[in-house]
A and B are shown apart, each in its own frame.
Chain A
Amino acid sequence: MKIKSQRDFWSGLMFAVAGGAFAIGATNYSMGSSARPGPGYFPLILSVIMSILGLIVLFKSLTIEAEGGDPIGDIAWRPLLVVVAAIAVFGLALPRLGLVVTVPILIVLVSLAGDEFKWKGVLASAVVLTGFSWAIFVFGLKLTLPLWPSFMPA
């Protein structure tokens, strides 16, 4: 068996698997009857339809010829991992280290995702953006964002 459209193959698989997972989840909740639909009623209908659609997409990707195999192409691992990690680090650091420390960490970290990393520019933008976000979010909008590391007395 040869995959004729890579993009469709993987997305069909994704829909079928996700639909199956949601359907299995839905069986944990009461179905009710059509006169008194329970919490599992609507998700089960949806997930079954989605799995069927996923299987059709999958089937088509194996039978219908697509131009050049419709390849997915290279995956940009570095930007993907760096950006996702930077967002997660932001979430971890903000409540503990406060805005003043977290913003520079985020900027330096996320800048690694690009292919032109120069310390001078990155540090400059880190300083500017830290000041900027303090001015807008803390001073201007009075949002309750932790400003300094939690172990330091305010």
Chain B
Amino acid sequence: MDLLNNLTLGFGVAFTLQNLTYAFFGSVLGTLIGVLPGLGPVATIAMLLPSIYTLDATPALIMLAGIYYGAQYGGSTTAILINVPGEASSVVTAIDGYQMARQGRAGAALAAAGLGSFFAGCVGTVVIAAFAPPLTELAFKFGAAEYFSLMVLGLIGAVVLASGSLLKAIAMILLGLLLAQINTDVISGVPRYSFDIAELTDGIGFVVIAMGVFGFGEVIANLGKSAEHRQVFTKNVTGLWPTRQDFKQAWPSVVRGTALGSLLGVLPGNGALLASFATYTMEKKVAGASGRFGKGDIRGVAGPESANNAGAQTSFIPMLTLGIPPNAVMALMVGAMTIKGIQPGPQVMTSNPQLFWGLIASMWVGNAMLVILNLPLIGIWIKLLTVPYRFLFPAITLFCCIGVYTLNNNTFDVYMTAVFAAVGYAFYKLSCEGAPLLLGFILGPMMEENLRRALLLSRGDWTTFVTRPLSSGLLIASALLVVIVTLPSIRKKREVTFVDD
């Protein structure tokens, strides 16, 4: 058995005392930094990259993998506790996770996220070991037209993320796509919507919008309620652990999320992110009328978190086998490999089997460390929520401000956050939801690039999107989704199910 031999080799490398120590330190550092609002995996890895200069290649990458998982879990923790998603993929976690925290079930949410991620991580490790070569083939089949259609599907799916009006959700997606157009055009180099402000030619940061719309919008809205109506977090915290009922509800979501995440993670262009959105959509559909999505449904935390972690795991496949980094974190990993004198690409598997399989095994080790590390921490995180809100909100404001400033060491981002704080409160008042906006914002540049590239390749022929089989399949799926959502009878049910109190 090749698979077993390879994994044995890998675990042999990972289970040395030295490498275990590095994996542990990586996870600890990653968690601690990732918990700070606004500091996601990319920022954390970038910050800690210098610390690996003195290490050998294998421990260096193992430590980075640990930091990556730690930061990702830390980001989910912030999303659940204070509604500030530290990175794109925890936007979904914030929706139901934060509601659970408000209802005194932060412990259950954190545990579901941790255990779901661990399960997904275990499966992801096996998937990488078994399917790296064939899955890479799939990624090759995706051209510009397919990516565009995939994103259309993703965006249509995001409509289901919203719990209110369908039209407004679509308009929010478009607004997000348009906000992402504030940048320098990749193809022609023309600065767009920048009003001659140098900072705007680089575009608005994701964290700036996420913090303004989600974090500060929420803070202002909470403060606006009179003290007796406020009660942001309920006083009676019901247990640190998920109940039997929670487990029963959550595990199918975890399995489905893992499957979808493993598949989508292979695609370059941040498949892990699409996976968490797609899983939320799927879970909401599967649950049907019994779901309490948007009001603290454990499935809305467990599914996307698992998908995200499985996707994060399998996103190593294109990097390890093709040398193509699928997202910013992987790009930093490639950078780290080159610093260590390794040329990423298909040859790594044969020329450096120790490193390749060691890294894969240590991903599993990193995941296990996370569970060991974070389950005991849950109690401490929950204590944090019992701090009276009049002490909590200044601290949230402070950490968000410092986090935004350190993104680029630039006060411009701080001012933009102030603007988006006001915008976020306006959205809250108009019951326009932030999640579809953020998804549109993230996918905007990729969508435009792929649309224009596909049109360029087909010489302006729009039919390219329907004549390519994979692409047309994805578009048909999107059309079906639209039909399902808009069908009068189903729509009525949807409104009954998801309308706010």
Contacts and interface: CB of A to CB of B under 8 A. Distances in A.
Interface of A: 7-8, 10-11, 14-15, 18-19, 22, 25, 29-30, 33-43, 46-47, 49-50, 53-54, 56-57, 60, 72-76, 78-80, 83-88, 90-92, 94-95, 103, 106-107, 110-111, 113-116, 121-122, 125, 129, 133, 136-137, 141, 143-145
B219 A83 contact: yes
A76 to B, nearest CB: 3
Given A38-B188, A95-B411, A15 B175 contact: yes
A50 to B, nearest CB: 4
A60 B406 CA distance: 44
B227 A115 contact: yes
Most buried by A among B399, B425, B430: B430
B413 to A, nearest CB: 8
A113 B223 contact: yes
B460 interface: yes
Contacts of A30: 188, 190
B247 interface: no
Contacts of B175: 15, 18, 50
B36 interface: yes
Given A14-B430, A50-B174, A106 B398 contact: yes
Nearest to B33: A141
A40 B432 CA distance: 27
Contacts of B394: 106-107, 110-111, 122, 125, 129
B432 A11 contact: yes
A83 B395 contact: no
Interface residues of B, number: 65
Contacts of A36: 456, 460
Contacts of A83: 216, 219-220, 223, 397, 421
A11 B33 contact: no
Given A46-B177, A76-B224, A114-B223, 20 more contacts: A7-B430, A15-B175, A19-B178, A25-B193, A29-B190, A30-B190, A34-B455, A39-B190, A39-B192, A43-B192, A53-B174, A83-B397, A88-B415, A91-B411, A94-B414, A110-B393, A137-B402, A141-B47, A144-B409, A145-B405
Contacts of A37: 451-452, 455-456
22 contacts: A7-B430, A10-B430, A18-B178, A36-B460, A37-B451, A49-B174, A50-B178, A54-B171, A57-B171, A85-B418, A91-B415, A91-B418, A92-B411, A94-B411, A110-B394, A110-B397, A113-B223, A115-B223, A116-B227, A136-B36, A141-B33, A144-B409
A47 B402 contact: no
Q: Which of A8, A37, A75 has the most CB of B within 10 A?
A: A37
B390 A116 contact: yes
Contacts of B496: none
List the 4 shortest-distance A-B pairs measured between CB atoms, nearest first: A76-B224, A35-B460, A91-B414, A79-B223
A80 B220 CA distance: 6
A145 B459 CA distance: 50
Nearest to B447: A42
Interface string B152-196: 000000000000010110110011011001000101101011000
A78 B406 CA distance: 28
B362 interface: no
A137 B402 CA distance: 9
B448 interface: yes
B422 interface: yes
A79 B452 contact: no
B168 A57 contact: yes
Given A87-B414, A91-B414, A46 B429 contact: no
B401 A106 contact: yes
Contacts of B193: 22, 25, 43
B14 to A, nearest CB: 28
A75 B422 CA distance: 11
A40 B185 CA distance: 9
Nearest to A18: B175
Nearest to B389: A114
- Chain B CB count within 10 A is highest, among A14, A39, A76, for A39
B241 to A, nearest CB: 29
Contact of B178 (A41, A43, A56): A43
Contacts of A41: 452
Contact of B171 (A40, A50, A92, A111): A50
B397 A86 contact: yes
Contacts of A86: 397
A138 to B, nearest CB: 10
A88 B397 CA distance: 12
A133 B181 contact: no
A71 to B, nearest CB: 10
A50 B414 CA distance: 28
Contacts of A46: 174, 177-178, 181
Contacts of B426: 14
B167 A39 contact: no
Interface string B399-440: 101100110010110110111011001100111100000000
Contacts of A39: 185, 187-188, 190, 192
